[in-house]
Structure 1
């Protein structure tokens, strides 16, 4: 039995970062991998608590929840960003196991960690790439929309004027009236396409008028009445306004396609430092499954994350869907 425990310790020390602390969090044991990644010697670590590697990334609530979990005798699992002695940062996936006395109270904690810094760096790079891709996409949408409106749209308008002149002349060909009608339909389609790509009102007047116009067009297209409320006192960074507009657009599009309702609600308001949006329907709903996350939900979450915000969807079969997002009023510079 002792031999098996020794072999288990050797295997654990070879594969993981290990520390043992007392009930107050004072370090009693660290293995070589802990010293290697933290760049502290064993003598510098023994008797200290884990604040010695605290990076300041996680808030008080995070550690309060951690301690509440392990002091209750439950195992805690999660990711931690720590700071080594030389100031470098590293991420570890951590499992903290409480050892309980005969009264069921923790007297010691075993922390087993595995470094996930490369994975976290890859995730961060992926997010940066996604943000960049969405920015490029919006710029292309804007460019094509302007070309449709100012180029093709104006050419069609000029053609319409010429047809109107011909129609005003006596003895014109009867087919001209049908051509003029087809041209009007084509002009309307071009305007609709330009709007769908990127409405000029979003850049010219801001997100509030753009959303109001979009909800009106949405009602005309889907026959779903939108109760719209927007209480924004100012304009914001173009990227934040774009993210807000696209989140509402995506949520309403999903309602139009899947919710099977006659009414939806969109509310936009602000608080200190944040813009809040809630898009709600009382339709068929769905059971959210992480492994089957749709492109729409992914797009909303990424747009919010791209400006430093968050977005989430709450739904259940037969209970409708609520999409909420919180976006900062100002972009954080990094």
Structure 2
């Protein structure tokens, strides 16, 4: 029979075996997952595991008997290592990140814990260093740090040069930079919590802002020019880009508005527009004057001469008289044509629609191009609008005659609410809008549209044709 002492001894032996097995398992797990090294009290390496050799590219024989200067990268200062040694020499655990250098010259980072083993006198007799490689993490961290630095630089440059504001999905301002406050004359406290109606100048229509919100509400970037009103009542223009930030559901949760002030540029544009309008007005007045002089002066004199020739021809027969009649008649027709080209009297007397009809009739007779004309105009508008609209149609038809190579075209002049819409369309040769040179004709049409506050769009494709669309804001006209 086994006595109690023998049983106790067996149990104790089994417990020690179990503890040794657990320690062996722990060492195995540590060797598989971590870089492990043991040094004596002087820092001489006495043990390294396979992971240490793998990451450092040194063999076990090359490492044992050396100190950790063999893998020193030179990245850390002497003070860094002095502090490390001061800590572990005092029997304290040291934790930190160290950049090492492998045998092949490559660098790697390790998250390090150094544990001192203490003897009976309370002094360290060896050190256990457990390391985890964090090179990839440090690389990501460094890249992130660099990205943050670049973003900070970009933000600084943006803040210095641009007006920046951020709003929530409802349009409430949540952030403005100093430039916004400077140009708007409002303080940051006055702006944050408000919406952009605080700087609304009243210049743009409700439809303008509806389209803006529809664009960014659908997650699309909006670009355009906006006229705003500062706190002191002054107006300023900004070239604006609004970028929606999209959440996981594909819906905007905030908007970033980046603006550049263009007040000076808009002022110059307005002055140029006024100057161009004045030039066009003077030009039309001169055309009208010359047209009248040709028609009422030279034209009438030639007509009187023709009557005289006819009388002489009736009284006597002379071989030169028929030739003179023919030449004078031809001159009268040429004078009438020049006069009509300069300024058709029907435009002043009867208005835009009769003038266009007259132009189309003569155009078709001279060039054999049939023009379909449609209109719903029943009133007359200002002479500026009618003159420039007429010239735009005239220029477009001239371009069709010269370049389109067609026998048919369409012209429509329609009132659409408070807008006069002019369409001139052909199905001719067409051209590339982006690469084609913008000739004098297109330039003239653009400038005339601008002169009356309108816009012009030209759509064209080679082999398909060209469409000119002009939109001009109008007020109530007067009855024809």
TM-score with structure 1 setting the length: 0.87
Closer, same or farther: CA 112–143 of 1 in aligned 2, 3 Å: same
Q: Give, in whole Å, the separation in 1 of the partners of 2:255 and 2:159.
A: 16
1:236 to 352, 374, 381: 381
Give structure 2 stretches of 5+ with no counterpart.
Answer: 1-144
Once the two structures are superposed, what CA deviation does each residue of 1:82-125 show, in whole Å capped at 9, x if it has no partner? Answer: 11101111111223344455666544443322111111111122
Q: Give, in whole Å, the separation in 2 of the partners of 1:103 and 1:209.
A: 57
Does residue 1:56 correspond to 2:178, yes or no? Answer: no
Q: Give, in whole Å, the separation in 2 of the partners of 1:60 and 1:270.
A: 20
Q: Give, in whole Å, the separation in 1 of the partners of 2:240 and 2:447.
A: 26
Give the structure 1 partner of residue 334 of structure 2.
Answer: 189
Give the structure 2 partner of residue 270 of structure 1.
Answer: 415
2:314 to 168, 174, 195: 168
Q: Give, in whole Å, the separation in 1 of the partners of 2:420 and 2:214.
A: 32
Give the structure 1 partner of residue 240 of structure 2.
Answer: 94
1:117 to 263, 280, 290: 263
Closer, same or farther: CA 322–69 of 1 in aligned 2, 3 Å: closer
1:135 to 281, 299, 307: 281
Does residue 1:318 correspond to 2:463, yes or no? Answer: yes
Q: Give, in whole Å, the separation in 2 of the partners of 1:193 and 1:288.
A: 32
Once the two structures are superposed, what CA deviation does each residue of 1:113-162 show, in whole Å capped at 9, x if it has no partner? Answer: 21111111111221111111111111110000000011111111222222
Give the structure 1 partner of residue 182 of structure 2.
Answer: 36
Closer, same or farther: CA 74–269 of 1 in aligned 2, 3 Å: closer
- Please state whether the residue corresponding to 1:292 is helix, strand or coil: coil
Q: Give, in whole Å, the separation in 2 of the partners of 1:197 and 1:91.
A: 39
Q: Give, in whole Å, the separation in 1 of the partners of 2:152 and 2:473.
A: 53
The 8 Å contact of residues 237 and 331 in structure 1, kept in 2 or not, is answered as no
Q: CA RMSD in A?
A: 2.7
Q: Give, in whole Å, the separation in 2 of the partners of 1:95 and 1:278.
A: 31
Give the structure 2 partner of residue 14 of structure 1.
Answer: 160
Map 1:233-312 onto structure 2 (within 5 A): 233-289=378-434, 292-312=437-457
Give structure 1 stretches of 5+ with no counterpart.
Answer: none
TM-score with structure 2 setting the length: 0.62
Moved more, 133-142 or 274-283: 274-283
- The size of the alignment, in residue pairs, is 331
The higher-RCO structure (CA 8 Å, 6+ apart) is: 1
Task: Report deviation, 1:253.
Answer: 1.3
